[in-house]
Chain A
Amino acid sequence: MTASNLIDNEAGTLSRDIFSSEEIFGREVKRVIAPAWSYVGHTSQVPNSGDFFASRCGVERVIVTRDPSGAINVLSNSCRHRGMPVCRYDSGNSADFTCSYHGWSYALDGALTGVPKFRELYQGKLEKEKWGLIKARVSIFHGSIWATFDDAVPAFEDYIGEDMLFYLRTLLQGPDGEDDGYEVIGGIVKWQVPCNWKFGAENFAGDHYHGYSHLSVERLSVGTSGKKSRHNFAADKTARQPMFLADPARGHTIRASVYREVPEYTVQEAASDEVNDYYRKAHEEKCRRLGDHARLLIHGGVIFPNTHFNSAGRTTIGVWLPISAARTEVWRWLFVPRNAPAVVKDTLREYYLRYAGPAGLVEQDDMENWTAAQRGTEGLMSSKYPFNYQLAMGLERRARPDEWLGRNVTITENTTEHNQRVFYAHWASRMEQQP
């Protein structure tokens, strides 16, 4: 079956099989997941020479290291001899990695440096320079670390595209508008959800229709706004226009708002004076630095295919790691402003913990719904009846209110499923390509 039989862009429908078929899953790992730049972590996790942490790049297990030259490496965590993970730890500091099977050892840049009985048993002939750990192509963007093992994938800047580079850069700016303004707090949050990875991806790509999912938390106050809402921007006084932006050539999507004018600082009633003081000053600084661009509020989005982020006062970046058609592992990094006082960092941290992840009052209901949606892809009859993605079809446009919002993106004001349609159209075009 070709991808074009699975997705009907004209009709705004797609086959449920793309969530449940293991055969399609096998192909999409090769054609969609592997030929992509993936977020693998942040430079603040490896400040010193020898620092490392385990990560994933699509379906590959990797080690992210900082070597003595200061360079960051993303290495396949698999010994070239028999495939053992050469690093058995989730994080730490080490001068090298020694495989636990036969003892080959590798430097922090992946070079094979030690082979037991090299002279006696290999007669000194093993070409060590050919048997180093497989190295990913790496790109560092304002502190974030990206990797791919695919040589055919365009350079990072071209893969992300000029428009999404702007949004990604903005995402990584601190509350004061300073570039590379964030650091990761200790502990990557990891959990598994029994659903296809695309349910998470399409939700983050642009589902603002699912307010119903979160009614139970909207009655509580979980943000710092003091309002009964999960979002801090609930307290904003300045009017803003929600916008859904998508890059059809690359499949990336952004959820954002643009304030009608550069917004006033909104006091967060439930936060302490110290926290408000920090954010008020940061807000002024940001407006000074960014000018008109300070009108932009990023809510979240997806860097195609499986890197996702959430923002709007809570900056997190994560990846949907495909395990099987019906199982996904999620890794999530939580960010706090690098230069903020401890009390600010902690206020934010607590907000994440009660909002996001498996213990988060908000995201619990997302995971529940995606798991339930997965069940709707299981029966035989379900193949005949596609899912509906027709919401606000045809309302997207290329003309934009402000030129700086991007030259190549489509923009839809108000709730739409256009971003999901762009995500799946790009998915289909990748599936059609020969690997």
Chain B
Amino acid sequence: MSVANQTDLVDALLIKSEVEDFFSLESELLDERRFDEWLDLLHEDLYYWMPIASNVRFDQPEREYTRGRGEANWFDEGKDILRKRVQQIQGGDHWAEEPRSRTTHLVANVRVASTQGGDIGTKCRFVVYTNRLEHDTELFVGKRVDVLRRENGQLKLVRREIYLDQSVLMSRTLTTFF
């Protein structure tokens, strides 16, 4: 955290604490299956993207992840589709989530990377543990790059890039939110 003086330092710490609080709340709502309240934290213009990784040569890192808007991705969507995903789970007959998964979302290494206008750019790491039925356990680990936007004093998630550390997905479904 590079800050010029005491006041800036306090401001930066406050923002960081607010961001961490936001992520903790998100995790809590998801893990307590309060999906509608989670949706309320998402900006109407949200861009939610999880590219697919592949194994490329060391000098072509830009090819490691598929491009959003043009190539295959795990997720490349907006709030409208996330809303459908939530509705599907809530119907009670989305078998891939019925009975529902036990999930724990951990967010760590949170850093505020930029602040511009009302937008806060952040970077963090995530660990998502899910357990279903008797033995179905999955572990999703990776990095996130998020943008939070302040609107009417409230922070909303407006952009989420999710970089999962897998190329072949080792799970049969991606029914959890990141």
Contact = CB atoms under 8 A, between A and B. Distances in A.
Interface of A: 88-92, 185-194, 213, 215-217, 219-220, 222, 329, 334, 345-346, 349-350, 352-354, 357-359, 361, 364-365, 367-369, 371-372
Contact of A217 (B73, B88, B173): B88
B54 interface: yes
B62 to A, nearest CB: 12
Interface residues of B, number: 39
Interface stretch (B35-43, B76-84, B142-150): B76-84
B82 to A, nearest CB: 10
B153 interface: no
A367 B67 CA distance: 26
A353 B75 contact: yes
Contact of B55 (A90, A354, A368): A90
Contacts of B88: 216-217, 219-220, 361
Contact of B171 (A90, A191, A372): A191
A127 to B, nearest CB: 31
16 contacts: A88-B55, A89-B57, A186-B71, A186-B72, A190-B52, A215-B93, A222-B84, A353-B72, A353-B73, A353-B76, A359-B174, A365-B94, A365-B96, A367-B172, A367-B173, A368-B96
Contacts of A334: 72
Nearest to B56: A89
B94 A186 contact: no
Contacts of A365: 94-96
For the complex of A and B, list the 9 residue pairs with the smallest distance between their C-beta atoms, beginning with the closest: A187-B72, A186-B71, A191-B169, A187-B66, A216-B94, A364-B96, A90-B54, A368-B96, A359-B174
Interface in B25-70: 50-52, 54-57, 60, 63, 66-67, 69-70
Given A192-B171, A216-B94, A354-B77, 12 more contacts: A92-B60, A185-B72, A186-B66, A187-B54, A187-B73, A191-B171, A192-B169, A219-B91, A349-B76, A358-B171, A361-B88, A368-B95
B74 A359 contact: yes
B169 A91 contact: no
A346 to B, nearest CB: 7
B84 A194 contact: no
Contact of B172 (A215, A219, A368): A368
A372 B133 CA distance: 10
Contacts of B76: 349-350, 353
Given A186-B70, A187-B72, A216 B91 contact: yes
Nearest to B168: A190
Contact of B87 (A190, A213, A220, A364): A220
A222 B94 CA distance: 15
A368 B173 contact: yes
Contacts of B96: 364-365, 367-368
A368 B136 CA distance: 11
A90 B95 CA distance: 33
A219 B93 CA distance: 11
B174 A188 contact: no
B56 A188 contact: no
A358 B85 contact: no
Contacts of B174: 358-359, 364
A365 B75 CA distance: 17
B120 to A, nearest CB: 27
B172 A358 contact: yes
B17 interface: no
B169 to A, nearest CB: 4
A180 to B, nearest CB: 21
A90 B67 CA distance: 16
Interface in B120-144: none
Contacts of A91: 54, 56, 63
Interface centre among B50, B63, B96 (most CB of A within 10 A): B96
B115 interface: no
A269 to B, nearest CB: 15
Contacts of A368: 95-96, 172-173
Contacts of A364: 94, 96, 173-175
Contacts of B85: 361
A190 B169 contact: yes
A365 B71 CA distance: 24
B3 interface: no
A349 B94 CA distance: 23
A353 B74 CA distance: 7
A293 to B, nearest CB: 30
B114 interface: no
A78 to B, nearest CB: 17
B155 to A, nearest CB: 26
Given A185-B71, A189-B52, A369 B168 contact: no
Nearest to A353: B76
B75 A191 contact: no
Nearest to A188: B72
Contacts of A357: 74
B170 A192 contact: yes
Given A89-B57, A90-B56, A186-B72, A353 B93 contact: no
Nearest to A334: B72
Contacts of A189: 52, 72
Nearest to A193: B172
A369 B94 CA distance: 11
